[in-house]
Amino acid sequence: MNAKPQLYDISRDLTNGMVVWPGDKDFALTPNGSIADGGPVNVSTVLFSSHSGTHVDAPYHFEDDAPKLDKVDLSAYWGPAQVVTVTKAAGPLTPADFAGYDLGRAPRLLVHSPLSAADTTVFHKAFVYPSPELADALGQLGIVLYGADSPSMDAFDSKDLAGHHALQRNNILILEGLMLDGVPDGLYELSAFPLKLIGGDGSPVRAVLRAVEHMKDEG
pLDDT digits (tens, 9 = 90+) for 60-77: 999 999 999 999 999 999
pLDDT value of position 215: 42
Write down the pLDDT at residue 214. 52
Q: What CATH superfamily is the domain 7-11+50-213?
A: Putative cyclase (3.50.30.50)
Which residues are annotated as catalytic?
61
**pLDDT of amino acid 4:** 78
Torsion angle of alpha carbons 80, 192, 203, 168, nearest 10°? 0
CA contacts within 13 A on the Cβ side of 35? 3
**Spatial distance between the Cα atoms of 113 and 148, rounded to a whole number of angstroms:** 8
Report the pLDDT value the prediction gives residue 2, as an integer from 0 to 100.
66
Report d(CA 160, CA 157) in Å as an integer. 9
pLDDT score at 76: 98
Does this model's pTM top 0.85? My answer is: yes
Q: Which pLDDT does position 216 carry in this prediction?
A: 42
pLDDT in 10s for each residue of the chain, 219 residues: 567 789 999 999 999 999 999 999 999 999 999 999 999 999 999 999 999 999 999 999 999 999 999 999 999 999 999 999 999 999 999 999 999 999 999 999 999 999 999 999 999 999 999 999 999 999 999 999 999 999 999 999 999 999 999 999 999 999 999 999 999 999 999 999 999 999 999 999 999 999 986 544 433
Residues in CB range of 127: below 8 A, 6 or more apart: 89, 90, 113, 115, 149, 150, 151, 152, 156
